[in-house]
Amino acid sequence: MRNWSVGISVMVLTLIFIIRYEQSDHKLPTNHTVDDASIEGESVQEPAKKKPHFMTLEDLDYLFSNKRFYGEEEDDELNNGFLVWSRMRPFIERPDALPETAQGIEEATLAMKDLVFLIYKEKRASSSDMVSKEIRRNCPGFVAAFDGDLSGLRPVLELPCGLIEGSSITLVGIPDVHSRSFQVQLVGSGEARRPIILCYNVNFSKPFLVQNTWTEKLGWGNEVRCPLHGLVKNQIVDDLPLCNEQTDRIVLEESSNEDAVMDLVIGNADFPFLKGSPFTATLWTGLEGFHMTVNGRHETSFAYKEKLGPWLVSAVKVSGGLKLLSASATRLPVTDDHAFLPIEEKLKAPPLSGTRIALLVGVFSTGNNFKRRMALRRTWMQYEAVRSRKVAVRFIIGLHTNVKVNLEMWREAKAYGDIQFMPFVDYYGLLSLKTVALCILGTKVIPAKYIMKTDDDAFVRIDELLSSLQEKPSNALLYGLISFDSSPDREQGSKWYIRKEEWPLDSYPPWAHGPGYIISHDIAKFVVKSHRQRDLRLFKLEDVAMGMWIQQYNHIVERVTYINDKRFHNSGCKSNYILVHYQTPRLILCLWEKLQKESQIVCCQ
Ligand SMILES: *[C@@H]1O[C@H](CO)[C@@H](O)[C@H](O)[C@H]1NC(C)=O
Ligand SMILES: CC(=O)N[C@H]1CO[C@H](CO)[C@@H](O)[C@@H]1O
């Protein structure tokens, strides 16, 4: 009886929500990735493309309007994760917005709608005792497919929660004896024409390997071809060359006679793939790019392209002249089971007191970095100053394009209360919007004397930082590892490449390195106010952008203090640190243990 009434009330509420949404001149919600029986009956049409619609808190309220269903308590949880969301609107809708903004907002709006559908679906399933395993196990740590499952066009592997640094995909197969080529593709999620985050093409005609990306908007990117053709010879990704030297040698031995080339291929062990011979190929994700190992030898590397990071991958496709024997992916992002297990009280963010705190730390993170966030919660977020609310730590996260990742983040936000969602998808080019969001958070929501920006792979010694801050000015301060004399990277293709239109001058003003810097409250206030008045430019490198904004502040106040401290390490670790960067979750736990058990400020390797 009870189940019945819950089911009906869900249907009624869903209908009300659809009607209200229709009336409010918004795009109708569609079930992009979720099939929901109660929606499928409706005839839903995609309206023509409009200017991206910023989803306001009011819109979110529509989506979550259903207090009777969720209960007041969950409604608060909703609001807790969206404290900056609606305040971001004026900063996002400016005409000189960063290039990725429109796409970022549009995709986030769709992602939010998909998420609401999934939450409805889950609630309904659990209230009618049909809790499905599929919903519970959103993010598997390992997926595999063997022989029988591997035919046809559908992806050979689905990766619902993307890849993280250290994930790997292993394919075992045999190129056909008459194969001309075969391809492995890592595709993203989203609309019908999914982006290709890596297309790996093995071509036997020459032979060569080609790596590239594809998006609907930009088409194919700049390919990397092995054997290399001169030019980019010395480029490295995560300390690895773009192509294996032995593969490169094929070019030198190459003959103009096609038959001779064919003989060479079949008999030449220097090309990693041989027709008719089984291979084991492992594609793994580093910090900077994808790497391919074939039969135990590193063959190729490919730097991640902007907006096409490994976290966006949602499936592996294989095509061409190849018999695939097995495919598997391991070390995928998994979550703690926050939704179903009791949460340790000490891991939850202490409630806000409302009074001004000493320090707010904003940790820039991204959707599927579940492990990294848990590592911080268990380590430096346990400092007494954090537990006693003198310091607050919040993760600043954009939405993901995959609904399952968003659902996991949603659960995580509810469980720990330390996540602030951004109204856009987490593209690298939008990082400085997060910086603005952090300034809003530290001035309007959690007022703090100092505001710090850091990353989810950094370890911060909060105690040492606080005592160090004690003797620093309370106003007009930038504190961290400061670059006083640096210039824009004009090398096309570099991750830091800056066009003249973005920054015409030959040097940057002083700026502090992104893994960890601290600003005083007045600077944050200035940043928020001046952005609202559009007096400040947006710039895609968030740490340099902060330096530019502070320089402008300095024109007004003429007394900004820049304090450089070499104990902030922006790459790697050195003992007696305040902050270290590029630390894996395992290293973060190790650093904490060394501090706790041995009172030693030393690195772990
Ligand atoms: C393989 O290379 C040949 C010669 O360069 C080219 O004509 C052919 O289109 C390539 N095949 C694929 C699938 O890329
Ligand atoms: C309205 C709409 O988009 N419906 C889709 C919901 O999802 C199913 C399965 O994924 C599709 O077949 C429907 O077209």
Q: Give the mutation target among 21, 34, 35 for probing the ligand 2 site: most ligand atoms within 8 A of CB.
A: 35
Pocket of ligand 2 (CB under 6 A): 30-31, 35, 40, 44
Residue with tokens 């003003």, as numbered in its chain: 509
Question: Residue 212: nearest ligand to its CA?
Answer: 1
Report CA(246)–ligand 2 centroid distance (Å): 49
Quote the CA–CA distance of 87 and 79 in Å, as a whole number.
13
Report CA(384)–ligand 2 centroid distance (Å): 50
Q: Name residue 289's beta-bridge partners.
A: 303
Nearest-CA residue for atom 4 of ligand 1? 205
Buried b (16+ CB within 10 A) or exposed e, 77-90: bbebbbbbbebbee
Q: Give the mutation target among 18, 33, 34, 40 for probing the ligand 2 site: most ligand atoms within 8 A of CB.
A: 40
Determine whether the shortest distance from the Cβ of 212 to ligand 1 is under 6 A. no
Among candidates 223, 237, 232, 227, which has minimal Cα distance to 284?
237
Q: Which pLDDT does position 71 carry in this prediction?
A: 44
Determine whether the shortest distance from the Cβ of 181 to ligand 1 is under 6 A. yes
Q: Which pLDDT does position 58 carry in this prediction?
A: 67
Q: Name residue 214's beta-bridge partners.
A: 196, 220
Determine whether the shortest distance from the Cβ of 205 to ligand 1 is under 6 A. yes
Buried b (16+ CB within 10 A) or exposed e, 223-251: ebbbbbeeeeeeeebeebbbbbeebbebe
Question: Residue 320: nearest ligand to its CA?
Answer: 1
Q: Which pLDDT does position 211 carry in this prediction?
A: 94
Q: Which pLDDT does position 270 carry in this prediction?
A: 75
**Cα dihedral 436/515/425/313 (nearest 10):** 170
Question: Residue 114: nearest ligand to its CA?
Answer: 2
Q: Give the mutation target among 205, 206, 265 for probing the ligand 1 site: most ligand atoms within 8 A of CB.
A: 205
Q: Which pLDDT does position 213 carry in this prediction?
A: 93
| Tokens representing residue 249 in the block | 């040698």
Q: Which pLDDT does position 152 carry in this prediction?
A: 60
Q: Which pLDDT does position 159 carry in this prediction?
A: 92
DSSP per-residue letters across 509-567: PPEEEEEEEEEEHHHHHHHHHHHHTT-S---SSHHHHHHHHHHHHHHHHS-PEEEE-TT
Question: What's the topology of domain 143-330?
Answer: Jelly Rolls (2.60.120)
Report CA(43)–ligand 1 centroid distance (Å): 44
State the alpha helices, DSSP H only, in 24-100.
37-40, 57-63, 67-81, 89-92
Let me know: does 78 contact 57? Beta carbons within 8 Å: no
End-to-end CA distance of the chain: 59
Sequence spans of domains, the chain: 2-125+337-598, 143-330
Among candidates 592, 463, 452, 428, which has minimal Cα distance to 521?
452
Nearest-CA residue for atom 1 of ligand 1? 203
Claim: this prediction has a pTM higher than 0.95: no
Averages of pLDDT over each 10 residues, the chain, 605 residues: 49 48 40 37 38 66 52 56 84 80 86 83 65 62 79 79 94 92 90 86 90 90 82 77 75 48 50 92 95 94 89 92 92 80 87 89 95 96 96 96 90 91 90 95 95 97 97 96 94 80 94 97 96 89 96 93 96 93 94 90 90
Question: Residue 34: nearest ligand to its CA?
Answer: 2
Determine whether the shortest distance from the Cβ of 402 to ligand 1 is under 6 A. no
Q: Give the mutation target among 176, 180, 319 for probing the ligand 1 site: most ligand atoms within 8 A of CB.
A: 180
DSSP per-residue letters across 130-180: ---HHHH--S-S-EEEEGGGG-SSS-SEE-TT---TT-EEEEEEEE-TT--
Report CA(208)–ligand 1 centroid distance (Å): 9
Q: Which pLDDT does position 14 carry in this prediction?
A: 52
Q: Which pLDDT does position 471 carry in this prediction?
A: 94
Ligand 2 atom nearest to 34, measured from its CA: 7
Q: Which pLDDT does position 96 carry in this prediction?
A: 78
Residue with tokens 């190849």, as numbered in its chain: 322
Q: Which pLDDT does position 340 carry in this prediction?
A: 67
